[in-house]
Chain A
């Protein structure tokens, strides 16, 4: 049975292996250069404290391959589900060959076990290797990325570490299950794509933030969490402050789930949902703009105005998952996908054993 499964599968397995080998070679060739550039840059910037600028330049330069690789790792499991999972059984049903193979001296459960096991293992290995290779290659970039692209950011998190293994196993078995249920290849592929995409959206939006209860804390205002202040326009009004929604001071790389401005009495300053430039919210602060540090004529920088607002007692209140939880979250999430995979596999076996034709 292993021979037959391999004989049916070897074509696409070889193609995948070739594509992954090309990717692997490309990463292996460029990776060491990338990390030595990073090390040199850090050595340069640390004495004169310009590392923020270095990070911006360095990350900006490699942003496109960084995003492309992240995308590859995110898409790979979906491809395994679409092109390996969904047709695994439906192809046999459509050609009628299930009746040929189910009438050899081998039970249907064994047939499915070998097909699921072998193909699934290759899918998992491919996604796992690809994920680890990209994690290794991206390491210097992950260290210099802006908060929205850091390792804990929803999109990047799923393309690092061991989660691609869980995603691939799940997507593959999801494809097989939907194939067994709808019994035709194209609808099964379409359903697999839709279902997997929905689950991959729901996971970071609804589930992952709560896998470990997030930390809620208040922070002083400073350079990390205030992107700028804007004096009132000609129509008058109050001073506007742009509060970051993706960074908190002292916890570099944390995944910020919510960020609000609270006034000295601890109440949240409403802003009517106004948002500022990317990844910030705009909030009005009643601070004197005619005199003092926030007066436009004062000629002082934005930093002193921020310090003045901070002195008045305004704070950032944020809910976040710190970077130290990267690996615990990776393990928990992979475990959840593993359990889902087992449940779906059980469903497949039940359906196949009861007879499909």
Chain B
């Protein structure tokens, strides 16, 4: 299977601060990929590097096998919906479609018009007058009608109310399935991603903490509850993601290397949201060198 995004020790520095460092990840094609992490973890930076808006400070990145943003052909293959879904306030909805038609060789005008009509957007309205949800839909339409192989969305739903967000993600999922395109979208809301993504990348402390197909990630992780002890005392083959202790009990989130047979421990399944939180929660200093990847 080909990769949509391959990063090798990728890093981006703003002044003296690393926004992203030693990011190594290989995302296969054909997924709706969720990029999740706390604010300031480097999600936007990674997506902008993938879209070609930024040049990496260190390492290398390839998107659909090419250097991001380098040529018109490369740009045509990648759609990008930026954070806050910017549109030209003084241009009408129809003029935005015209812009898309003029600037993209693969533009699908029928699809764009059909989508606009289905969403109830009036072509003669100025984009500055649209609601946040409508603006996001217009930006998404521009991204989809370009007919890219990969669509990148940077926090597309962040500014939307729950209803508009639900609609937006719904439309996105349908379009991804219909046109068989790969999607990478970022969010700090795991619940959003849980609904639409089948592949997950967790970014925290400007590094990739976890990447893999969501079903396999969930299958590979467990919550262990047992008598209070230090992580080192756990049976072999259990990689500890996070640990929490009360007076008498210890709870660990572990990635299991093998089956767990010790009857002293209760093994329970863990939801995607808790799993992501466990990885985002880890003391960064302790695990600097560990960026775990579960085979996708």
| A residues adjacent to B (C-beta < 8 A) | 1, 3-4, 7-8, 95-97, 99-108, 110, 354-357
Contact = CB atoms under 8 A, between A and B. Distances in A.
A149 B106 CA distance: 61
Given A1-B103, A104-B100, A107-B69, A7 B91 contact: yes
Interface stretch (B82-90, B224-232, B263-271): B82-90
B86 A96 contact: yes
Contacts of A357: 48, 53-54
Contacts of A100: 82, 86-88, 139, 142
Interface centre among B72, B88, B91 (most CB of A within 10 A): B88
Contacts, number: 81
B21 interface: no
Interface string B89-117: 11100010011101111100000000000
Nearest to B45: A357
A105 B76 contact: yes
B53 A354 contact: no
Contacts of A99: 53, 80, 82-83, 86
Interface of B: 48, 51-55, 69-73, 75-76, 78-80, 82-84, 86-91, 95, 98-100, 102-106, 139, 142-143, 146
* Top 9 A-B residue pairs of the complex, sorted by shortest distance between their CB atoms: A96-B86, A104-B103, A99-B82, A105-B76, A103-B80, A105-B104, A355-B54, A105-B75, A97-B86
Given A3-B99, A105-B104, A355-B54, 14 more contacts: A3-B102, A7-B95, A95-B86, A97-B86, A97-B87, A99-B53, A102-B53, A103-B79, A104-B100, A105-B146, A107-B75, A110-B72, A355-B48, A355-B53
21 contacts: A7-B91, A7-B95, A96-B86, A99-B86, A100-B87, A100-B139, A101-B103, A102-B52, A102-B53, A103-B51, A103-B53, A103-B78, A104-B99, A104-B100, A104-B104, A105-B75, A105-B146, A107-B72, A108-B69, A355-B52, A357-B53
Nearest to A108: B69
A354 to B, nearest CB: 6
B283 to A, nearest CB: 32
A4 B142 CA distance: 15
Nearest to B48: A357
Contacts of B80: 99, 103
A7 B106 CA distance: 22
Interface centre among B48, B53, B83, B143 (most CB of A within 10 A): B53
B103 to A, nearest CB: 4
Contacts of B71: 107
Contacts of B146: 104-105
A4 B87 contact: no
B77 to A, nearest CB: 9
A1 B102 contact: yes
Nearest to A99: B82
B103 A106 contact: yes
B247 to A, nearest CB: 50
Contacts of B83: 96, 99
A3 B104 CA distance: 13
A99 B72 CA distance: 15
A193 to B, nearest CB: 25
A7 B91 CA distance: 8
A357 B83 CA distance: 12
Interface centre among A8, A96, A110 (most CB of B within 10 A): A96
Contacts of A95: 86, 88-89
Nearest to A103: B80
Nearest to A1: B103
Contacts of B104: 104-105
B55 A4 contact: no
Nearest to B44: A357
B87 A106 contact: no
Contacts of A102: 52-53, 69
A101 to B, nearest CB: 8
Contacts of B103: 1, 4, 101, 104-106
Nearest to A357: B53
Given A1-B102, A355-B54, A355-B55, A103 B86 contact: no
A288 B143 CA distance: 93
A105 B79 CA distance: 9
A333 to B, nearest CB: 38
Contacts of A106: 72, 75, 103
A59 B84 CA distance: 61
B104 to A, nearest CB: 5
B105 A105 contact: yes
Nearest to A96: B86
Given A96-B82, A97-B88, A357-B54, A103 B102 contact: no
Contacts of B98: 3
Contacts of A97: 86-88
Contacts of A356: 53
Contacts of A3: 98-99, 102
Contacts of A4: 99, 102-103
Nearest to B139: A100
A231 B84 CA distance: 81
A298 B74 CA distance: 94
Contacts of B78: 103
A206 B205 CA distance: 55
Nearest to A353: B55
Nearest to B100: A104
Contacts of B100: 104
B145 to A, nearest CB: 11
A105 B105 CA distance: 7
